[in-house]
Amino acid sequence: MRLTLGRREALWAYLFLAIPLAFFLYFRLFPAFQALWLSLFEWHADPSARRFVGLAHYHQLLEDAVFRRALLNTFLYTLLGVPAQIFLGLALALLLQRTPIARDFFRAVYFAPYVTPAVAVAWVWSWMLSPHFGLVNEVLVLLGLPPQPFLQSPSQALPTVTWVVVWQNLGFQIVLFLAGLESIPRQYYEAARIDGAEGWRLFRHITWPLLNPVLVFSAVIGTIGYLQLFTQVVNLNFTDQGGPLNSTLTLALYIYQLAFLRFQLGYAAAVTAVLFALILLVTLIQLKLLTRRVEL
Amino acid sequence: MVLPFVWMVLTSLKPFPEIFQLRFFPQEPTLDNYRQVLRETGFLRWFWNSLLVATITTLSVLFFDSLAGYALARLRFPGKDLVFLLILSTLMVPTEMLVIPWYVMSAEKGWINTYWGLLFPGLMTAFGVFLMRQFFLTLPQDLFDAARMDGLSEFGVFWRIGFPLVRPALAALGIFTFLGNWNAFLWPLIVIQTPDMRTLPVGIALFSGEAGTAWNLIMAASSLAVLPVLLVFFFFQRQIIEGVVLTGVKG
Amino acid sequence: MLKRLLLAGLFLSISLGLAQTVTITYWQYDFKSKVEAINELIRRFEAQNPGIKVVHQTFPYDAYQQKVAAAIPAGQGPDVVNLYYGWAPTWVKAGYLVPLPEGWTKELDQEFVSMVQAAKVGGKFYGMPTAVRSLALFYNKDLFRQAGFANPPRTWEEFIAIGQKLTVKQGGRLVQIGYGVAPDGQDHHLVREVLVRQFGGRPYSEDGRRVLYLSEAGVRTLSFYTDWVRKHEIGVPGFFPGNNGYRDGFIAGKIGMIIDGSFAIGTIQQGARFDWGVAELPVERPGGRKANFGSFWMHGLTPLATGPKREAALKFLAFITSEEAQRYWLEKVGELPARKALIRDPKLSLHPVYGPFILSLGYAKATPFVDESAQRKVMVDAINRVLLQGMDPAQSLKLAAEEEQKILDLFWR
């Protein structure tokens, strides 16, 4: 009995996916469910002392003002950060592609923030943004503008943190988009040029559509990343984590505080469940709306 | 752009009292911090541990993620969308919460304080699968049809045709994975018990305490820690520049 | 035959001897002098107790709690653990600590400084310290001299006057301030535990379950403290960049005075390049009520120490908190001893740096936190609402009291 072409293809697919899928199920999905399962219990180090509390934690969430703040902040970070890093990343990648001179050097320059350890980045920026000693305010004052509190201000802290995150991620965005740009076979450009297209039209009709898979990737992964923002938020306001008056607090940081500083793992798991649902929903919507199959 | 980087290196050359002065350049530059970091701390050991773990995970990710990405992009099979979503959903629970189940699992199986304990969470990533899938999608179908007609097995098609053509993506993934592992903090912290198993980020965190932070030492250690990453970056980005040249597409 | 008997006998006694060796694990955060001190103490302890072996493991300070939170439920953690006293109630509630033997209560009540009472949860002791800390005023003698001040301030009035003189502007921007305002540093302790008491109030009820700082004294405290910034302009929060900007700014010579804990002595000694001094915290008026915030890291027992391990762990605990150990600790680490007998040493009270701290140990109180992380934030936010959003102190304090009472109620439920 010979397998049909279709069946053979499916078999190969399962073969390729066997190990990765097994890995994800055992090391990621199963532990994730275990973690989420905790949300129905009152946590205790001794498993026999853990009490089943049903949806009590979820009720608690509804009245938790800090949770609401974290939720709002998380949204804001995502809405500000994702478009910013895609736009800037793509623009710089396009620019770099066209600059033949010292290309390596410029790429290294833009990549430097990405490889610099998070502690160093946070320390340098908190110095640069210091209201009284920072470089940024020195420049502002020179330009005749009033100095700004930045990370010290409940209203400015979040955009400031967003800026530092975008700045740090740019390196990878540029690498990603460069990879995407370089993957577009030159034949297409040549063919289009023969047809008389150039510049903006080339971008609109060749580059942009063919970049779609990479753009989708950047948007989806970027969103998932911002929705789970943690490291920079912690490092930039280290002694008052979550920023002045919780202005930079994210859901991921809140989960961390609840689980590891306040030992309330059940409640933390409930917040995690909400975050998970949020990310899932947003991702599904993005995949539906953004993906475009390009026929050549 | 490079200011923080430069600042980091300059600070690493300052003696402790100087880091409180607001001058950019060190007044009395010294290599003492480097000496202290290399000789009096477990820095070299941390470096080795990080290097081992980051390299192994990167190689594993590059292979398995592209294998899975290829299947999701170029093969037809029932349940394809579900599998993709399932894999993608593993990105949606923050690591902070996974750390506890992982720890309990590691404790039961004796993985605590071992290299395997450090390695296992990062061997395959949904991030990578997603990325490779997207890049595999950009390749024209005729390429694969031609290869299949030439008698290559499906794995051959993947390994000989698909894999080399997504080099830019592999390079990007390689950089990202290596860096992510190099800087990973929370899980290594939890699974390591003894000083000889510490990775760089955990070791560097020892320089700060309740009474303050030894920024001069942190910057020295961080400057050294950045070197392999830069090397990895330079190596991989060559792959991106070279780009992709398609041959024999005509059908 | 005899040889075989002898060999068997030897083998038996060796295996019995080996079987008697108990290994216990001790965890603390990594700090060079403390690590070396504990290693030495372990060496001495093991010499005196041949059947016990102590494994000493350390972790980064910033991530210490995370380590414990993950380890103990998995049965993998320490038998004896070092922790900040303020974490005790949270840890006890979650099952991470077990009480010390009842028989030890008397010694802890009588021989140890009064702030150690905060190691009690629900009436039982859950830990005991080797060393304690308190707050004091660090001041820059060079800046003082330049501005014409010979002595550190005794009252808050003097404090404000000096602060104003030391606050310097150049071209409309501050380049030096008199006091390093830091709500998220030690200032929240200053407000809650020191000023409220000095002004005649008290922060919590005797059993620690009710918030009492929403009183006339409390409101006056918050107004008084925030006026340092808003009215008297002796400093601003976040003046100097960095995580502990107030301390770094002091070390940089840009801040005239800071209120900091004894744990900062080492850092300041290493970094400051000017003449500096330490003084007891100012009071409301000459002869006015003194108050101070005391804190300590203590050694606790985890539920993992069972059977012979428990006995060994208790022996170890007693050893590292003995008079001899505390004396050694003071020498090696520079931290104040927790036993009353040792702080009575006149040499210590006269020491230029340790003296002011030692004197305060007689009246310093440790806040009975139940959820240190959350409660700390409540006070920091209360201060920030006034300083950053211009809210009225009475209103801000009311919000804080409500928030904190909710936290207390939730815990004691």
User: Rounded CA gap, A246 and A254, in Å?
Assistant: 10
Is the confidence at residue B182, as pLDDT, over 80?
A: yes
Mean pLDDT of B101-123: 91
Q: Residue C29: which of B99, B103, B209 has the nearest Cβ? A: B209
Average pLDDT for chain C: 91
**Which residue is associated with the tokens 């400031």?**
A160
Site from A240, A254, A257 to mutate, C interface, most C CB atoms within 10 angstroms: A240
* Chains B, C: CB pairs < 8 Å: 77
User: Rounded CA gap, C18 and C15, in Å?
Assistant: 5
**At a CB cut-off of 8 Å and minimum separation 6, what does A147 contact?**
A131, A132, A137, A140, A141, C173
pTM for the whole structure: 0.87
The tokens of C195 are what? 């000023």
SS3 content of chain B, % helix, strand, coil (to 5): 70, 0, 25
Task: Please name the helix (run of DSSP H) or strand (run of DSSP E) that holds residue B168, with its range, or none.
Answer: helix B167-182
For residue range C80-102, what is the model confidence (pLDDT) as tens digits? 999 999 999 989 988 899 999 99
Supply the pLDDT for residue B251: 27
For residue range B1-26, what is the model confidence (pLDDT) as tens digits? 677 778 888 888 888 887 777 777 77
The tokens of C317 are what? 């605990």
Is the confidence at residue C256, as pLDDT, over 90?
A: yes
Residue of chain C minimizing CA distance to B189: C67
Output the CA–CA distances (angstroms, integers) from residue A189 to A186, A210, B128, C66, C242, in the order listed. 5, 11, 29, 54, 51
Give the distance from residue A153's alpha carbon to the nearest chain C alpha carbon, in angstroms. Answer: 7
**How many CB atoms lie under 10 A from the CB of residue B23?**
9
Beta bridge partners, C22, equal: C52
Q: Name the neighbours of C, counting chains with at least 3 Cβ pairs within 8 A.
A: A, B
Average pLDDT for chain B: 84
Q: A126 to chain B: which residues are within 8 Å by CB?
A: none
Start-end of H helices in C231-371: 245-251, 265-271, 308-320, 323-333, 340-343, 346-350, 354-360
- Residues of A numbered 233-292 whose beta carbons fall under 8 angstroms of chain B's beta carbons: which are they? 252, 255-256, 259-260, 265, 268-269, 272, 275-276, 279-280, 283-284
SS3 content of chain C, % helix, strand, coil (to 5): 55, 20, 30
C244/A239 Cβ within 8 A: yes
Site from C61, C83, C140 to mutate, B interface, most B CB atoms within 10 angstroms: C61
- Residues of A numbered 78-107 whose beta carbons fall under 8 angstroms of chain B's beta carbons: which are they? 103-104, 107
Mean pLDDT of C234-242: 90
DSSP codes, C359-410: HHTTTEE----SSHHHHHHHHHHHHHHHHHH---HHHHHHHHHHHHHHHHHH
Residue of chain C minimizing CA distance to B40: C32
pLDDT interval class at C339 (50, 70, 90): very high
Considering only A157-161, A182-186, A267-271, which range has the smallest mean pLDDT? A182-186
A246/C240 Cβ within 8 A: no
Is the confidence at residue C9, as pLDDT, over 60?
A: no
**At a CB cut-off of 8 Å and minimum separation 6, what does B37 contact?**
B43, B217, B220, B221, B224
C72/A127 Cβ within 8 A: no
**Assign residue C134 a region: left if phi > 0, alpha if psi is -120 to 50, beta otherwise?**
beta
For residue range A24-47, what is the model confidence (pLDDT) as tens digits? 999 999 999 988 888 999 888 777
Q: C271 to chain B: which residues are within 8 Å by CB?
A: 16-17, 19-20
A220/B94 Cβ within 8 A: no
- Residues of A numbered 53-72 whose beta carbons fall under 8 angstroms of chain B's beta carbons: which are they? none
Q: C170 to chain A: which residues are within 8 Å by CB?
A: none
pLDDT interval class at C177 (50, 70, 90): very high
**Which residue is associated with the tokens 């809405």?**
A79
**Chain B contact for C10 (CB, 8 A cutoff):** no
**Which residue is associated with the tokens 């072996």?**
C53
Supply the pLDDT for residue B249: 31
Is the confidence at residue B236, as pLDDT, over 90?
A: no
Supply the pLDDT for residue A294: 59
C61/B209 Cβ within 8 A: yes
Is the confidence at residue B228, as pLDDT, over 90?
A: no
Considering only B167-181, B205-219, C171-185, which range has the smallest mean pLDDT? B205-219
Q: A246 to chain C: which residues are within 8 Å by CB?
A: 381
Mean pLDDT of C280-296: 94
Mean pLDDT of B175-188: 89
**Which residue is associated with the tokens 């007044």?**
B27
Supply the pLDDT for residue C71: 85
For residue range A219-256, what is the model confidence (pLDDT) as tens digits? 998 999 999 999 889 888 888 888 899 999 999 999 99
Q: Residue B20: which of C66, C75, C252 has the nearest Cβ? A: C252
The tokens of C181 are what? 């305002």
pLDDT interval class at C8 (50, 70, 90): low
Residue of chain C minimizing CA distance to B111: C76
The tokens of B238 are what? 């060559």
Q: Name the neighbours of B, counting chains with at least 3 Cβ pairs within 8 A.
A: A, C
Residue type (1 letter), C387:
L
Q: A59 to chain C: which residues are within 8 Å by CB?
A: none
User: Rounded CA gap, C346 and C246, in Å?
Assistant: 32
Task: Please give the span between the terminal C-alpha atoms of chain A, in angstroms, as a whole number.
Answer: 37
**Chain B contact for C251 (CB, 8 A cutoff):** yes
Mean pLDDT of B233-244: 66
Is the confidence at residue B189, as pLDDT, over 50?
A: yes
For residue range A83-126, what is the model confidence (pLDDT) as tens digits? 999 999 999 888 888 776 766 777 777 777 877 777 778 888 88
Closest of C76, C97, C99 to residue C25, by C-alpha: C76
C373/A127 Cβ within 8 A: no
Interface list for chain A against chain C, based on CB atoms closer than 8 Å: 43-47, 49, 123, 126-127, 129-134, 141, 147, 149, 151-154, 238-240, 244-246, 257, 259-263, 265
Considering only A102-106, B91-95, C163-167, C275-279, which range has the smallest mean pLDDT? A102-106
| ipTM value | 0.85
SS3 state of residue C306: coil
For residue range C204-219, what is the model confidence (pLDDT) as tens digits? 998 889 999 999 999 9
C-alpha neighbours within 13 Å on the C-beta side of residue C56: 17
The tokens of A151 are what? 């990370």
Residue of chain B minimizing CA distance to C269: B17
Q: C185 to chain A: which residues are within 8 Å by CB?
A: 239
Contact criterion met (CB below 8 Å) for A52 and A41: yes
User: Rounded CA gap, B32 and B17, in Å?
Assistant: 13
Considering only A172-181, B202-211, C116-125, C346-355, which range has the smallest mean pLDDT? B202-211
Beta bridge partners, A133, equal: none
Q: How far is CA A251 from the centre of its chain?
A: 13
Going by the DSSP 8-state scheme, the letter that residue C199 receives in this structure is T
